[in-house]
Structure 1
Amino acid sequence: MNIGHVIKTLRIQRKMTQEQIALEADMATSNVSRIEKGQRQPSQKVLQKLAKALNTKPSTLYAASEQPLEDIADFLRQEENTEKNVGTDSLTFTQDTKILITLFNELTPNNKSLLLEQLKILHKWQTKIGQ
Structure 2
Amino acid sequence: MNIGYVIKILRTQRKMTQEQIALEADLATSNVSRIEKGLRQPSQKVLKKLAYALNTKPSILYAASERPLAEIQDFLEKEGKEETDGSISHQLLHHETQTVIKLFSELTPNNKSLLLEQLKSLHQWQRKLEQ
TM-score normalised to structure 1 length: 0.71
RMSD over aligned Cα, in angstroms?
Answer: 3.0
Change (3 A) 1:104 1:67: farther
- Give, in whole Å, the separation in 1 of the partners of 2:14 and 2:4: 15
Matched, 1:62 2:62: yes
Percent sequence identity is 68
* Counterpart check, 1:42 vs 2:42: yes
Between the aligned partners of 1:65 and 1:115, the Cα distance in structure 2 is 33
Question: Residue 116 of structure 1: CA displacement?
Answer: 7.1
Measured after TM superposition, the shift of residue 114 of structure 1 is 9.3
| Shift in CA distance, 125/7, structure 1 to aligned 2, threshold 3 Å | same
Match of 2:23?
A: 23
- Partner SS for 1:80: helix
**Residue deviations 1:32-91 (CA, integer Å, cap 9, x gap):** 0000000000000000000001010000000110111111111111111111124x6xxx
Alpha-carbon distance in structure 1 between the residues aligned to 2:125 and 2:68: 51
Contact 1:51 1:57 in 2 (8 A): yes
Is the Cα contact below 8 Å between 1:104 and 1:112 reproduced in 2?
no
- The alignment of Structure 1 onto Structure 2 pairs a total of residues equal to 122
Q: Deviations over 1:5-42 (max 9, x none)?
A: 00000000010000011101111100000000000000
* Partner in structure 1 of residue 74 of structure 2: 74
**Mapped partners of 2:14, 2:27: distance in 1:** 19
Q: What letter matches 1:40 in structure 2?
A: R
SS of the counterpart of 2:55? coil
Unaligned runs of 5+ in 2: none
What TM-score does the superposition give when structure 2 sets the normalisation length?
A: 0.71
Any gaps of 5 or more consecutive residues in structure 1? 89-93
Runs of 4+ residues over 3 Å off in structure 1: 94-97, 107-128
Q: Structure 1 residues 81 and 122, CA, compared in 2 at 3 Å: closer, same or farther?
A: farther
